[in-house]
């Protein structure tokens, strides 16, 4: 079975439980391939927990969920040292972060210390308990959610730390047809949420290795660099959007666009990346890396609106 067919089998398995969240499922799979993390902004009740839990079952991975609250401590996430009176020693008690897929629910409800502990673990792929460092399992994916509805009692992630997330996704309400299926499936005393594994973690890790062989031409890489540069120096691309931008995308954007483009090509069954692959993932990678001004907010202009203009204006080739 090809990699594209294997990934399609995962999509089909998750879709047996989750209705109408194909973009979320695809981006979670892409993040797993690219060793990245996902920040999700969406209203309550749109199957965020169900989606990642179903994905974990489909790939035979460990799943863990932690509800972030204002009184949470870093040790509640990473674990701590527990004293054993029998031999007067301190033994590591690993926290919920030691899982393949971690749902950090409402990350903006936790104080800065907890957020930084999570972000450090995401970056370093390890956790230090006492004097010992413990590697996190492979693969390791964090899906952090933010609730855009409530702002009371929240601690917003600093923009520089949001940059650590590979993708930022926005999930809205389902269509009426999708919601009808959801209602028919879930409006039961004991809904059937069983799902059979269709992919092993070893196969997924092999896909990561094979993704390195997906070809990306230097012309496509130059296109990526022009897109990122247009967020920093829009006037050089005849874009009249400088007044709406405080600063543009970081070098991580270029790296992630290259990675995600190749991963997207692999998921489509191709061994080469195209400019269209770049365009398909550009919004989800760049939307949280553009800092918009108060003027943009006052005129109801979002980073997605600015990205639409950039993608339309920046040429695919300079020839």
pLDDT band, residue 154 (cuts 50/70/90): low
Higher-scoring residue by pLDDT: 175, 152: 175
**What pLDDT score does 275 carry?**
93
> Do residues 84 and 123 lie in contact, with contact meaning Cβ atoms separated by under 8 Å?
no
pLDDT at 149 over 90: no
* Overall average pLDDT of the 233-252 stretch: 89
pLDDT band, residue 319 (cuts 50/70/90): low
For 185, what's the count of Cα atoms within 13 Å in the CB-facing half-sphere? 15
**What pLDDT score does 262 carry?**
94
DSSP string of 210-236, one letter each residue: HHTTSB--HHHHHHHHHHHHHHH-GGG
Residues 89 and 173 occupy one common structural domain: yes
Residue ending a domain, among 203, 226, 258, is: 203
Residues 129 and 250 occupy one common structural domain: no
For 163, what's the count of Cα atoms within 13 Å in the CB-facing half-sphere? 16
Residues 166 and 232 occupy one common structural domain: no
pLDDT band, residue 87 (cuts 50/70/90): confident
pLDDT at 303 over 80: yes
Q: Considering the domain boundaries, does residue 8 fall inside one?
A: yes
**What pLDDT score does 274 carry?**
92
To the question of pTM greater than 0.75 for the whole model, the response is yes
User: Could you tell me the CA-to-CA distances from 10 to 34, 55, 114, 146 in Å, in that order?
Assistant: 17, 7, 32, 26
**What pLDDT score does 152 carry?**
58
Higher-scoring residue by pLDDT: 108, 46: 108
Residues 224 and 195 occupy one common structural domain: no
pLDDT at 292 over 60: yes
pLDDT at 186 over 80: no
Percentage, residues of the chain above pLDDT 70? 96
Q: Considering the domain boundaries, does residue 319 fall inside one?
A: no
Residues 226 and 107 occupy one common structural domain: no
Domain span at 223? 213-313
Q: Considering the domain boundaries, does residue 269 fall inside one?
A: yes
DSSP state of 264: H
**What pLDDT score does 20 carry?**
79
Residue ending a domain, among 180, 203, 226, is: 203
Higher-scoring residue by pLDDT: 277, 112: 277
* Overall average pLDDT of the 77-95 stretch: 84
Residues 279 and 140 occupy one common structural domain: no
Residues 192 and 260 occupy one common structural domain: no
pLDDT at 153 over 60: no
Across 129-138, 174-183, 193-202, 303-312, which has the greatest mean pLDDT?
303-312
Q: Considering the domain boundaries, does residue 11 fall inside one?
A: yes
Residue ending a domain, among 177, 203, 229, is: 203
pLDDT at 240 over 90: no
CATH code of residue 267 = 1.10.8.80
Continuous H helices in the chain: 3-15, 22-34, 48-58, 74-78, 112-124, 159-162, 176-186, 201-211, 218-232, 251-267, 275-286, 294-298, 303-313
Q: Give the total number of structural domains in the chain.
A: 2
Residues 187 and 235 occupy one common structural domain: no
């Amino acid at each position: 079975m090809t990699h594209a067919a294997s990934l399609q089998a995962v999509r089909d398995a998750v879709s047996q439980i989750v209705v109408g969240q194909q973009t979320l499922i695809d981006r979670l799979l892409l993040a797993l391939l690219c060793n990245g993390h996902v920040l999700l902004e969406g209203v309550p009740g749109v199957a965020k927990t169900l989606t990642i839990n179903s994905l974990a079952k489909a790939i035979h991975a460990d799943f863990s969920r932690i509800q972030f609250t204002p009184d949470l401590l870093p040790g509640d996430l990473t674990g701590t040292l527990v004293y054993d009176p029998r031999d007067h020693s301190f033994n590591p008690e690993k926290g919920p972060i030691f899982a393949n897929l971690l749902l950090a629910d409402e990350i903006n409800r936790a104080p800065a210390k907890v957020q930084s502990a999570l972000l450090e673990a995401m970056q370093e792929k390890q956790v230090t308990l006492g004097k010992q460092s413990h590697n996190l399992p492979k693969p390791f994916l964090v899906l952090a959610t933010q609730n855009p509805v409530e702002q009371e009692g929240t601690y917003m992630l600093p923009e520089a730390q949001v940059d650590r997330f590979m993708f930022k996704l926005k999930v809205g309400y389902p269509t009426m047809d999708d919601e009808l299926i959801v209602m028919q499936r879930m409006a039961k005393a004991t809904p059937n949420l069983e799902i059979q594994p269709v992919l092993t973690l070893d196969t997924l890790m092999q896909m990561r290795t094979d993704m390195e062989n997906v070809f990306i031409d230097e012309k496509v890489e130059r296109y990526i660099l022009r897109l990122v540069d247009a967020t920093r120096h829009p006037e050089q691309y005849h874009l009249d959007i400088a007044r709406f931008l405080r600063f543009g995308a970081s070098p991580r954007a270029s790296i992630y666009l290259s990675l995600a483009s190749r991963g997207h090509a692999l998921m489509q069954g191709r061994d080469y990346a195209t400019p269209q692959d770049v365009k398909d993932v550009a919004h989800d990678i760049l939307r949280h890396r553009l800092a918009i001004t108060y003027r943009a907010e006052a005129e109801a202009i979002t980073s997605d609106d600015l990205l639409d203009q950039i993608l339309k204006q920046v040429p695919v080739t300079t020839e």
